[in-house]
Amino acid sequence: MAIKVAINGYGTIGKRVADAVSLQDDMRLVGASLTKPSFKAVRAAEEGYDIYVPAGQEKAFGGMKIKGSISEMIGACDLVVDASPEGVGEQNRALYRKAGKKAIFQGGEEHELVQASFNANANYDAAKGKDFVRVVSCNTTGLCRTLNALKPFGIENAYAVIVRRGADPGDSKTGPINAIIPETHIPSHHGADVQTVIPNLPIVTAAVKVPTTIMHVHVISVRLKRQAAEKDILGAFESENRVMVVESGMGLKSTAEIMELARDMGRKRSDLYEIAVWKESVNVKKGVVYFMQAVHQESGVVPENIDAIRAMFSLADREKSISKTNKTMGIR
């Protein structure tokens, strides 16, 4: 039986999750909601996706073929992936509850909205059988993946500085364009967000926003309980799902070259689902491991949404789901 999935919010995350759902043989895409006529609606139609719009708004979409209203879309599915803007998911939850449908929310929503915050590597089983799950943000996903890889060494404490992109590449409404904006409150919210997935992990984070659109960078230090050499840490990163070790010495000196590599890999929209850890940055000094990683904010959480669906319907265990998602999406 294929799980019927609807996408409510066809933006940066929603359109990618729609594509990823379409690749799964145990899921079927019911369609996607579009709140306004735009190029996004035209593109969704060109992809062959059924389009649902707010009730009574059909005429605003001109001659486009509209399948039905958003409530009809919710009625026709088993699960909604809510990828609406930050804070809107909270309002939408009542619709899903009323219709008796499961839902996945994204990282812009609060942990309190759901029964489990999710990262496939770190806590797949926490979503098993749940009705409301949140796939944590791109930054939290990045931290969860690499910190999960370090768990076997024991984590005494972790500190991460997050250098955040100012906007997504397709976004013209935010910035900065000529400033670095520190989040002057330390700790930033990201550490507490990691703890929604890995409880009791002693982590402090700080964040600054910079004028770039292509990726985030994290500078991380972790005090380990057990001794480890650089090669052990690199081995742990290399064997962790959806983590990719890259070498500055091979020309991957910055996020620019990493995104160029993603373009060369030929994936749709040049997405890089993996967290890229710079090999040269991995250093161990007096029991502390230091490293730097880059996060493709637009795509890193997409495979997590697919695994969350499988966990919520108990379709597969963690290893099977991750490996199926990776295979269908071409993740190494």
Q: Considering 138, 272, 302, 311, which one is annotated as catalytic?
A: 138
Choice from 196, 212, 255, 297 touching ligand NAD (CB under 6 A): 297
Indicate the residue among 207 and 289 with the shorter CB distance to ligand NAD. Answer: 207
Structure tokens at 273: 């689902």
Is the CB of residue 210 less than 8 Å from the CB of residue 176?
A: yes
Indicate the residue among 171 and 319 with the shorter CB distance to ligand NAD. Answer: 171
Taking the complex as a whole, how short is the minimal distance between the CB of residue 230 and ligand NAD, in angstroms?
31
175 binds ligand NAD (CB under 6 A): no
Is the CB of residue 94 less than 8 Å from the CB of residue 78?
A: no
d(CA 178, CA 193): 29
Choice from 298, 304, 307, 322 touching ligand NAD (CB under 6 A): 298
Residue 271: burial class (beta carbons within 10 Å; 0-12, 13-18, 19+): buried
Choice from 6, 77, 116, 138 touching ligand NAD (CB under 6 A): 138
262 binds ligand NAD (CB under 6 A): no
Active site residue 138: yes
Q: Which stretch in 5-13, 17-25, 43-51, 201-209 sits in contact with ligand NAD by CB under 6 A?
A: 5-13
321 binds ligand NAD (CB under 6 A): no
d(CA 303, CA 323): 10
Taking the complex as a whole, how short is the minimal distance between the CB of residue 144 and ligand NAD, in angstroms?
13
Query: Which residues in the 34-53 window bind ligand NAD by CB under 6 A?
Result: 35, 40
181 binds ligand NAD (CB under 6 A): no
Number of H helices, E strands in the chain: 11, 16
- Is the link from the previous residue into 176 a cis peptide, with omega within 30 of 0? yes
Among candidate residues 272, 215, 280, 218, the one with its CA nearest the CA of residue 247: 280
3-state secondary structure 74-112: HHHCCEEEECCCCCHHHHHHHHHHHHCCEEEECCCCCHH
Choice from 2, 43, 55, 86 touching ligand NAD (CB under 6 A): 86
Choice from 106, 196, 241, 305 touching ligand NAD (CB under 6 A): 106
88 binds ligand NAD (CB under 6 A): yes
Residues serving a catalytic function are 138
